[in-house]
Structure 1
């Protein structure tokens, strides 16, 4: 099978003609396996420790506003590293970046696993995030190079299995590990998979990109770090600090101003760090917006549903994780299917139907109560994931297909960066809306400390917060009508 792929990929592999390996050495399927295993572990790590936050607060003697940095620090680091990946992909070989990303992930997992204090644990998480931040855009870029355009929908569907099923499976798997062993074992279980991916990648991964060695513009890196990092940081702490607090306002304002300066500088440079000319391609720009909207829906739902299941319905963390697992499993099974549909029919049977499914499910989720049954909760989440599967990866594939080959690194870096930024924004807005609605509910009742009232108030907050998802789904549906149906440039 791989030899056939190589013959079909001669045009797609043209950027690799000056690499150290000939085209006949490149075996697309084994290369993809190495990336997919590593990517799954990296994105699993993004949410896996969320179920252990209570344990970490007790064992490491930290408060909730501090322990949230286990997740916030991970997202913030990825938001800083991913924009620089376009420059790195053109400066270092595929094998060098792949090995570096795996080494960062392995070292980070070890440091986190043996952490005697919160500061050491946070350091380990940041090191892990550097590895994931390097790997994800490299995985997208490599897949675009080694597979022809008529197969990219299927391949991106397989990558979608990683992007969405890993964070969905993380909470349930982590809950089980915590019940049987301790939170450290979440990290130890990652090491065999990371080691396998590293060894397997050393055997099969080849250099597929022509290195242009662009000049490093330090000011662009600084502005990118302040811009994307500032926005992710500001929105991440907004729910805890309050939207009117000085740290939140300062971070967001600095982030926005830095991004404006960063964008202006990229258009002036002959060889920009992140080539924003990708935004001149309308199909890519609309796909970028739609994918970001979908990711906001995903991450806002992933923060609201566990809270609703544990506090609103009074379920354990492990049970809540199990309820959310079918959605992740369905997503994993259907991602390759949606990719094949895209390859065969294009986007017309995917984008609008996907947003319609999301809209209907989010409407139903905005009407959940403390009496909603577990089967209904499973059905709503699983069906929501079906809608997500029809949109997210095919949409990214459609947008990237519209770009010329030389803009692939910039296109993949920008789309993955905005997914992280939009995810943090969606999470912060959902928590803010939920908290405001919950507080309004509690003000209207006398016995606010009653557990029944607490469950009802949080459920009311979740109902209101899901309206954000409804608005986002409507926006995505409108955008989908303007996206060109052609899947080839």
Structure 2
């Protein structure tokens, strides 16, 4: 559909506002979680569901979004996504117990997942080729920058006012944006009637949720059968059925067969390991600073900010380095930085210097910046054009869900280690528990480095050597 410049910009504005506010709310809980846990009197193993449950819901929604974009008109889908997100923020703002808070977070994740996917598709649809790079740059800067500053802003709000103000603010902005979007957002995407594979959606979501629940209770002292063993068995069984169903369907909910591509499969595995340690670590470090050390939420956010800013700034340059030198050098360097930044966090004390925390976190995030997008680009580069959408959905889903699982595992280890070395049963977190969680994160990072060294980019290097030798021979003949 052709629309004029003014209408394009107005539509982009509505989508951008929604993306920024939803992206900020995605990471703001890294510094507000300790205050929420305290108000609802829940342990870390329960509180982490506000982060891991959110991430899991987003991961499950990603493949469903492809169907929604092809089935429903753009304006209706925008209003629906912002509406669901708005209801979620309202529930979190008025939450009187943890269950209501958790319901609100899941609704926020569903709305966010739909909206973020919609924005990119709309940009590629309504803007001319010579404008897309600039518009995507604005979108990437805004959506990439919002999660960076969100923890610091959230920390300041918590210290001055109350954590509920964050959700009230998001709710008010959502309502205003819905009203604006009713006039600004046009129906620009083609729609058609098609059936939705609800069975696959339920199998995948329930399977991953059961597995996540089991892993999140690894440190439980009672009810092991019902909290760990049975949910694990149920989750694995449902996921096996889910995989078999995808392999049998002509048009699957999630195209798993694409994992037969070795290079793409490696990029998925590395992305999953990276996200599991990254997202879990991003939640545990503020717990150390606020609960174990007694630092303010504002100070916690400020300590996290330098590394996050460098990560945001490094992303575009990492792509240029990949184009120049290939994936092997970049992935090995990035993996080493991730490991070198994580290991020091295994030796935290109650008086660790702030500079030590900033340096470790920054080194860690430099490594993540070297890996996050280049490894995806490397994996996707071997897929045929018709497989790109399937590859994007599969990789995005699995790495997002892996982040949720990694968070659950690290928090479970932290809780178990805390209870193991703590005489006070009411203490939620201590330094020993934090160190134990980062030991597991270091093991994950070491495994990632091993895979990268052994498998990533070796064929690329051999291929480049062949091309180089052929060029030398051709030049010698001239």
Matches within 5 A, 1:465-480: 465-478=440-453, 479-480=455-456
> Counterparts of 1:349-428 in structure 2 under 5 Å?
350-428=330-408
- C-alpha displacement at 1:370, in angstroms? 4.1
Q: 1:433 to 1:128 in 2, by over 3 A?
A: closer
1:304, 1:421 → 2: CA distance? 18
Q: CA deviation at 1:188?
A: 2.4
Residue 176 in structure 1 maps to residue 156 in structure 2: yes
- Is the CA contact 1:110–1:187 (under 8 Å) kept in the aligned structure 2? yes
Structure 1 residue 450: Cα displacement: 13
CA 1:181/1:290 → structure 2, altered by over 3 Å: closer, same or farther? same
- Equivalents in 2 of 1:147, 1:387: separation in Å? 34
Moved more, 75-84 or 61-70: 61-70
Larger mean CA deviation between 474-483 and 257-266 belongs to 474-483
Is residue 411 of structure 2 the alignment partner of residue 431 of structure 1?
A: yes
The answer to which of 475-484 and 175-184 deviates more is 475-484
Distance 1:406 1:197 in 2: 35
The TM-score, its normalising length taken from structure 1, stands at: 0.78
Runs (5+) with no aligned partner, structure 2: 464-478
Inter-partner Cα distance in structure 2 for 1:293 and 1:229: 19
Instruction: Give how far 1:280 is off.
Output: 3.3
**Residue 129 (structure 1) aligns with:** 109
For residue 209 of structure 1, report the CA deviation from its aligned partner.
Answer: 5.5
1:101 to 71, 81, 88: 81
- Is the 1:156–1:397 Cα contact (8 Å) retained in structure 2? no
C-alpha contact 1:149 1:401 (8 A) present in aligned 2: no
Task: Measure how far apart 1:373 and its partner are.
Answer: 1.6
| Cα distance between partner residues in 1 of 2:9 and 2:219 | 43
Residue 247 of structure 2: which of 259, 267, 272 is its match? Answer: 267
What is the correspondence of 1:182-201 to structure 2 with a 5 Å cutoff? 182-191=162-171, 194=174
- Paired residues of 1:366 and 1:465 also in contact (CA < 8 A): no
Map of 1:83 onto structure 2: 63
Query: SS of the counterpart of 1:430?
Result: helix
Tell me by how many angstroms 1:131 deviates.
0.2
Instruction: Give yes or no for the alignment of 1:299 onto 2:299.
Output: no
Gap change, CA 1:476 and 1:439, over 3 Å in 2: farther
Structure 1 stretch displaced more, 204-213 or 226-235? 204-213
Counterpart mapping for 1:188-227 below 5 A? 188-191=168-171, 194=174, 211=191, 213-227=193-207
1:96–1:234: structure 2 CA closer, same or farther, 3 Å change rule? Answer: farther
Partner of 1:45: 25
Aligned: 1:319 with 2:299: yes
Report the CA distance between 1:461 and its aligned residue.
2.8
Q: 1:241 to 1:196 in 2, by over 3 A?
A: farther
Cα gap change, 1:482 to 1:306, in 2 (>3 Å): farther
Give the Å deviation of 1:449: 5.5
Question: What is the alpha-carbon root mean square deviation over aligned residues?
Answer: 4.2
TM (norm. structure 2) is: 0.79
Work out the CA distance in 1 between the residues paired with 2:137 and 2:267: 16
Report SS of the residue matched to 2:228. Answer: helix
Cα deviation, residue 324, structure 1: 0.9
Asked if 2 retains the 8 angstrom alpha-carbon contact of 1:300 and 1:426, the reply is yes
2:90 is the alignment partner of 1:110: yes
Shift in CA distance, 121/370, structure 1 to aligned 2, threshold 3 Å: closer
> How many pairs were matched up?
461
